[in-house]
């Protein structure tokens, strides 16, 4: 069980990040709780909110790379969350900005951004 302190920190962060990005947490509270607790457990063990939805041969090496520290590179670049934590209101991952051949787009099709005015910098409509 992760510490209550880090669960509270992660929940606060998620609340702020959903507002910043115009996303929602997954409508199934069990999905959101699982990710929150995974992120908080990694905070306890590693000092960083490493994505809990992936397998890492060496978590400390992953932290050095920073690719999978929440929000991960895909979330920051494409507004796509592998963990299904930051999603559209219906619970679908946002895939609108992903490259055509990305696994997320192939699996879910194109899911429009519910807040295009809060799109990643690379994708803001001019």
**Does the structure show a pLDDT above 90 at 122?**
no
Whole-angstrom distance, CA of residue 62 vs CA of residue 13: 21
Residue 18 CB partners (closer than 8 Å, separation 6+): 24, 25, 86
Residue 53's pLDDT is 92
* 53 is an active site residue: yes
Whole-angstrom distance, CA of residue 26 vs CA of residue 4: 21
Q: What's the CA angle centered on 76, arms 72 and 80, to 5 degrees?
A: 75
**Does the structure show a pLDDT above 70 at 124?**
no
Whole-angstrom distance, CA of residue 71 vs CA of residue 50: 9
| Sequence spans of domains, the chain | 4-123
Residue 121's pLDDT is 74
- Check if CATH label 3.60.10.10 holds for domain 4-123: no
Note the pLDDT tens digit of each residue in 13-66: 999 999 999 999 999 999 999 999 999 999 999 999 999 999 999 999 999 999
Catalytic residue among 53, 81, 122, 123: 53
Note the pLDDT tens digit of each residue in 76-110: 999 999 999 999 999 999 999 999 999 999 999 99
């Amino acid at each position: 069980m992760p510490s209550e302190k880090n669960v509270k920190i992660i929940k606060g962060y998620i609340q702020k990040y959903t507002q910043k990005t115009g996303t929602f947490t997954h409508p199934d509270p069990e999905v959101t709780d699982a990710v929150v607790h995974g992120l908080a457990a990694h905070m306890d063990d590693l000092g960083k909110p490493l994505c809990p939805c992936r397998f890492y041969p060496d978590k400390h090496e992953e932290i050095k790379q920073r690719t999978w520290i929440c929000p991960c590179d895909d979330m920051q670049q494409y507004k796509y969350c592998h963990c299904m934590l930051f999603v559209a209101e219906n619970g679908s991952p946002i895939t609108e900005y992903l490259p055509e051949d990305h696994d997320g787009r192939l699996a879910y099709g194109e899911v429009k951004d519910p807040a295009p005015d809060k799109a990643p910098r690379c994708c803001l409509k001019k």
